[in-house]
A = this chain, B = another copy of it.
């Protein structure tokens, strides 16, 4: 297995990027390799292509599995395990986001919630709680939104993203209709009073 300069370059770049995102360089490179590979690869092929020790590859693959980012399969007449990345980039992105939520966002939210339960014992803690609440609310809202939007068809999502900030026009349109028709057309999720403001 010898990488073309094109693939080589891609793999190295993702190694670097990985390390900026708390994923180690090796794991980044392994995934980049699987991502651009035309066919599933076994651990020895990966080790050879990237010049890592076999055991390093084993650990890297285990890590990637724990992120649910690889597919494992067997080839006929071959005992070795073959790994690949999903074909759909959106799916990869979604999995990554879900896993990060589970590992980082959820624990943070739960820490914040716990801290907000306690009665503040002084003015300082009152302020600390206020700040924590602001952060909690932002993270929670973003998470709920993400969770929700994730369920959309990729096509619908693409359509929405392409609209960008022009969605506002839809909102305005809706509000006008609502005013004219007597306010029965709302489709917003929450009964949260903040929703009505401004």
Could you tell me which A residues sit within 8 Å of B by CB distance? 4, 6-7, 9-10, 13, 17, 19-22, 35-36, 38, 89-90, 93, 103-104, 108, 111, 115, 118, 120-122, 124-125, 127-129, 131-132, 134-135, 138, 141-142, 144-145, 147-149, 151-153, 155-156, 158-171, 173-174, 187-190, 192, 194-195, 197-198
* Nearest Cβ on chain B to A126's Cβ, whole angstroms: 9
- Which label, helix, strand, loop or mixed, suits the secondary structure of the A interface? helix
* Of B19, B36, B131, B192, the contact of A128 (CB 8 Å cutoff): B36
Number of identical monomers bound together in the oligomeric complex: 2
The answer to whether B158 and A194 have CB atoms under 8 Å apart is yes
The answer to whether A36 and B134 have CB atoms under 8 Å apart is no
By a CB distance below 8 angstroms, the chain B residues around A148 are: 164-166
* Of B19, B127, B147, B189, the contact of A166 (CB 8 Å cutoff): B189
Determine the distance from Cα of A162 to Cα of B192 in the docked complex, in whole angstroms: 9
25 A-B contacts (beta carbon < 8 Å): A4-B121, A6-B125, A21-B21, A22-B22, A36-B127, A89-B138, A141-B158, A141-B161, A148-B164, A148-B165, A149-B165, A151-B165, A152-B168, A156-B171, A159-B195, A162-B190, A162-B192, A162-B195, A163-B188, A163-B189, A164-B189, A167-B167, A169-B187, A170-B170, A170-B173
